[in-house]
Structure 1
Amino acid sequence: MGFHESYFSTFFKQSMGLSVSDYIAQIRIDEAKKRLLQTDDQIQMIARQVGYTDSLYFSRKFRQKTGRSPSQFRNIRRPERIAAFQFVGLLGALGIRPVCIDQDTFLHSDILKDQLAGTLVIDEHTPDDVFKSLQLDLIIIPNYFYSKPALIKRLERIAPVLVLPYAGGHVVKEVLSTGRLLGREKEAVDWVKRFEHLSQKARNDLSSFREKGETVAIYEMRGHDKVYMWSYDARGAFYLYETLDLKPPKTILEEVLLPNQHTVIPLERLREYEADHMFFIVGVEHGWYEQMDQRMEESDVLRQLSAVKNGTFYPLKLEDFRFDEGERALHLIDRFVSRLTVAANPTIVHM
């Protein structure tokens, strides 16, 4: 990576909160957890698969990291009482309503509010005795929590912890994989059939729209002058371009989707990337959504967009679109279809 070994080790620990060796050990233990839940492989074999030649050393390391033996962790198959730091859409696809979710996930889950009714909202500072009183079978966290080793250690003392990747996987693959981990294979297969059926219906509903050859894209406004254009693994972009088979503008295809990398531009360049239909994500929390009409009037760039003039510019709430896993994907697809199948009206349409 171009670093001196000593400098890299120091820089890594400052950035991540744990050493390189501890980070690698955490990755290995978390991979072992998945194999313990998904397979009947012997512990000795799993130890070798994740990089430990000595199964006794692996078991000691596992207990040191988790507070329980590999065999004890394996006994949590088909957990019922789950705390979710994110992934509520994924759990919903498997028919699971979490016992509690973290504050950040709650603030970005309006789209699932009916499915989360009665769920306790917690945060990183919720007292241990509150967590323990919930009698949790499992705590699920995203892999960006690796930068919070103290929190992971604390959560491991409360209940078994399972780490899932934050983004980058197709919803079908994610649901099937998580279904195997949580002992919900049948529920996962049933949901995938539902997803495929509803996706096909959505494509059929948009067949006349696709025949027009009009372009569609999704954007996100941050601050006052930065526009993000997302590639396939964020903000529902995969479902817009791939699942619904909609056509992006040439510039977004060549600079964002083909290289599969998120791109940030100043607002003043937005017209270079404009589409005939523009889904425009803005945050409620920072006032953008409620003040959209005023901001449109104040911005020469936004007012001059063809989509704004034609009534095909659709503001979206970041609080609905931040996550797009599992059950959320179906809601996002429905949002896309509902806007694209309504007659254009040259006014700003809020969703």
Structure 2
Amino acid sequence: MAIMEQVSRFEGVEERILEEKSQIQFTEATNVILVVMSGTAQLNGYIPLINTSIFIGNLGLRMELKNKEDQPFVYRIYRFQQYKLRNRQDFQLTYELSKEYVNYNGLVYHKSSNKVRKVSEALYQANKESEQAHLLYKLLFTIEEEFKLQKSQLTEVTFQSVLDYVSINSNKPLKRDEVANHFGYHQNYFSKLIKAETGWSFSDYLAHIRLDKAKVLLLDSSYTITEVSRKIGYQDSLYFSRKFRKQTGLSPTEFRLFKGQKRIFTFQFTGDLLAAGIQPVGTLNWPGNIPPHFVQELGDAFLVPRDDYPTIEQLKALDVDLIIAPSYLYTHPKLIEELEKIAPVFILKWDRWDRLEEAKIIAKLLGREEETASWIARYEEKVARGKELLKPIIEAGETVGVFELRENNQVGVWRSSARGAYNIYKQLELKVPKSIEEDVLMPHKHLVIDEYLISSYVADHMLVIVHTAEQGLRLKESKYWEAIRTKYHSKVYILQLEDFWASEGAFLEHQLDIQVKKLAEGDYIL
């Protein structure tokens, strides 16, 4: 017979009504499940509750409900206790009351299913103790499964999903109507939509995606032109060559030999150029491309002001022989077409590559493999020293996470490609909280959560990036972050966005220095 590590006991249920324009405060001596029956309200000043909301709170949690609407708020409180196995000896099992069933702020989600509704209604009607025990277990299990599923689907589905699908499958014989049907669009509406979103027709957008992938493949001399053509989705290599020359002004073979450029303009990836020992003749001057700390290293480079792009006249005056741009520039098709008239344009996927692989690709394009290899060796030596330095500081089993305070009381939890997280997760190989591993790193997606949910992603060491001094103050005074420090005993370190916005090449090395110094010196909020 299996031994239960945890058992639950049903304590009762009560339906309550909070009249319009009123509020109430109460504390339950048990864990609670709050199921909204009708109306809307606000819980504890920051949690919205609607008629499909579910909330689970720990025993002793003080709850304040405010109904600001002109209709009653009807809800049910299901009370239960949770016990965990403390000791097993001979044929006797000893359980003790568990004071924390969910995280400090509770568990909440807003689209409960009919299944949850049916089970909760059955529990509300049940009279027999055995039936209540079974239904309570079923209700808790169903709620937790739904909560996990909804967390995995937090990323909003937009037309970007369509564009990502086209990019991922661009090597296949994609047809406009098939893609439209796949996403449930009428063909004519889909044509108008993709034109509105990208500025290109479907076929033109697909061609640009394919040819930009071809430029990356052409850097690998082991592929023949025919192999490159087929890998990107063109079976006819002559047709591919004509399309390539039309876009770039070079044949695939000429592009492959096109190295040693001296006058480069970068829209992004500037840190990779610096790692290769190259200064661009021009770039965008904003922290998302180059941290302020590095601006002086650009010498007399032409710096385009923040929130602006260079004019065609400015680029012509710079006499550039190569333009490097990120894939998000696809939303400016007219600009790309104008750029292609000035010099070859190399568009690389943004925020998708392994950071060191990205640096190697740029190095191949520029014929600077040796210089970048030397930089990587220096960077990896710093990583090794950092690991040794942090061994006695970060104890075995302790976790580390990278976060960013956002506007509207939200927090970003970043995958390894952003905000210097590559150093923490990939290079220093520090242990990651299970929730970040499952919800961010494994699906390889960024996550933005409401601040009151931060305890679901708590780490022993939390590197938190702030935009402003006011956010730094918020990090110190917010009740959620205070709970992180006092209840979970986490160490919270403040980092500045301007140092961590761009994470390519040389910038990554600088971020490693900051991160290791913060952790090693114990520079956290007291």
Q: Which TM-score applies when normalising by structure 1?
A: 0.86
Q: How does 1:98-247 map to 2 (within 5 A)?
A: 98-104=280-286, 108-122=290-304, 125-247=309-431
Distance 1:68 1:338, change over 3 A: same
Displacement of 1:149 in angstroms is 0.9
Q: Which residue of 1 aligns with 2:495?
A: 316
2:511 aligns with one of 332, 341, 345: 332
Cα deviations by residue, 1:228-273 (Å, 9 ceiling, x for unpaired): 1112222122221231121233332333233333222111122332
Distance 1:57 1:214, change over 3 A: closer
Instruction: Say if 2:272 is the partner of 1:90.
Output: yes
Structure 1 residue ranges without an equivalent (≥5):
284-288
AA aligned to 1:196 is: E
Distance 1:318 1:108, change over 3 A: farther
Instruction: Say if 2:193 is the partner of 1:11.
Output: yes
Structure 2 Cα separation of the partners of residues 11 and 298 of structure 1:
45
Q: Which residue of 1 aligns with 2:242?
A: 60
Distance 1:233 1:2, change over 3 A: same
Distance 1:163 1:272, change over 3 A: same
Distance 1:71 1:194, change over 3 A: same
Q: Which residue of 2 aligns with 1:286?
A: none
Provide the secondary structure at the position in 1 that maps to 2:405: strand
Cα deviations by residue, 1:130-169 (Å, 9 ceiling, x for unpaired): 2112121200000111121111111111111101121222
Distance 1:162 1:218, change over 3 A: same
> How many residues are matched?
342
Q: What percent identity do the matched residue pairs reach?
A: 38
Provide the secondary structure at the position in 2 that maps to 1:324: coil
The answer to which of 137-146 and 271-280 deviates more is: 271-280
The answer to which of 150-159 and 104-113 deviates more is: 104-113
Distance 1:86 1:125, change over 3 A: closer
Displacement of 1:201 in angstroms is 1.2
Structure 2 Cα separation of the partners of residues 177 and 47 of structure 1:
19
Structure 2 Cα separation of the partners of residues 90 and 292 of structure 1:
30
Distance 1:132 1:72, change over 3 A: farther
Displacement of 1:15 in angstroms is 1.6
Q: Is the 8 A contact 2:272 2:506 kept in 1?
A: yes
Q: Which TM-score applies when normalising by structure 2?
A: 0.59
Q: Which residue of 2 aligns with 1:20?
A: 202
Name the structure with the higher helix share: 1
Provide the secondary structure at the position in 2 that maps to 1:163: strand
Q: Which residue of 2 aligns with 1:51?
A: 233
Distance 1:311 1:276, change over 3 A: closer
Q: Which residue of 2 aligns with 1:276?
A: 460
AA aligned to 2:212 is: D
Between the two structures, name the one with larger relative contact order (CA 8 Å, sep ≥ 6): 1
Q: Is the 8 A contact 1:302 1:308 kept in 2?
A: no
Distance 1:135 1:345, change over 3 A: closer
Q: Which residue of 2 aligns with 1:304?
A: 483
Name the structure with the higher strand share: 2
The answer to which of 176-185 and 331-340 deviates more is: 176-185
Instruction: Say if 2:470 is the partner of 1:291.
Output: yes
Q: Is the 8 A contact 1:312 1:345 kept in 2?
A: yes
Structure 1 Cα separation of the partners of residues 487 and 511 of structure 2:
22
Q: CA RMSD in A?
A: 2.7
Q: Is the 8 A contact 1:37 1:77 kept in 2?
A: no
AA aligned to 2:245 is: R
Structure 1 Cα separation of the partners of residues 224 and 232 of structure 2:
13
Provide the secondary structure at the position in 1 that maps to 2:392: helix
AA aligned to 1:13 is: K
Q: Is the 8 A contact 1:111 1:328 kept in 2?
A: no
Structure 2 Cα separation of the partners of residues 44 and 212 of structure 1:
52
Q: Is the 8 A contact 2:287 2:501 kept in 1?
A: no
Displacement of 1:334 in angstroms is 1.2
Q: Is the 8 A contact 1:12 1:19 kept in 2?
A: yes
Q: Which residue of 2 aligns with 1:79?
A: 261
